Structure 1
Amino acid sequence: MGETLGSSSSSIAIDSSNIGFRLLKKHGWKEGTGLGISEQGRLEPVEAYVKNNKKGLGAEKKRKTPKPTDPPESKPKSDGEQKSRKKTKAISKRLRKMQEQEMQMQEKEFERAFFREFWPDNV
């Protein structure tokens, strides 16, 4: 990626049977001239490459930074402790979701009771 946009040492001219070449010719482009109204644009085609990852266009490769070392007073956690923390997190998410659902049910019931009290004919 050290090359500049305008220069590409491995570029070759596109074939006259290429659809892009034919479209450019149809619209008035002359072979060997640059693109644009003043013919100042690029002379060779843009290099294409296969992108195999799921990162966005232009995304840089993520550099692995070394993790900071643990302070000497803290001991590394065992696998059992890590698993129990993950399980606790999952349980707490489940409990939180159940609590939210319970609150929604209470709100709906309050709404129904309110309507029953003030508009008994409609419910």
Structure 2
Amino acid sequence: MEEVKGGSSSSAIRSSNIGFQLLKKCGWTEGTGLGVAEQGRLEPIQVHAKNDKQGLGSRKINNNNKNKRHQLLRDSTSKDNEAKKKAKALSKRAKKLQEQEKKLQDKEFERAFFREFWPDNV
């Protein structure tokens, strides 16, 4: 596709274009689509020059919408933080319960061991 300063062109790319040359080296023939079954697009993708200094996907947002968006972000992060704190507290409690369970199992094993070898003492 030939680059045009103000926008894009819908004409086919020239044979001097580096993209054209790379496609040719990869086995592409002019007039066929891209892909295994040559089902891909025949025309190049349209290109539009972007001259402003904003990033891709940005758009002008009035202050009211911007403030709402920031408030939503703050609310969601505070909810996330609360959920993380709850999860952390639950995980601490779960670890404590697991430790208690392990101690009880060890104690029961010890009792069973003594019962087996010294049934009169236990």
Establish whether TM, by shorter chain, passes 0.5. no
Shorter-normalised TM-score: what interval? 0.3 to 0.5
Larger-Rg structure: 2
TM-score, length-normalised on structure 1?
0.39
Which structure's residues are more often helix, by fraction?
2
Q: Which has the higher contact order (CA 8 A, sep 6+)?
A: 2
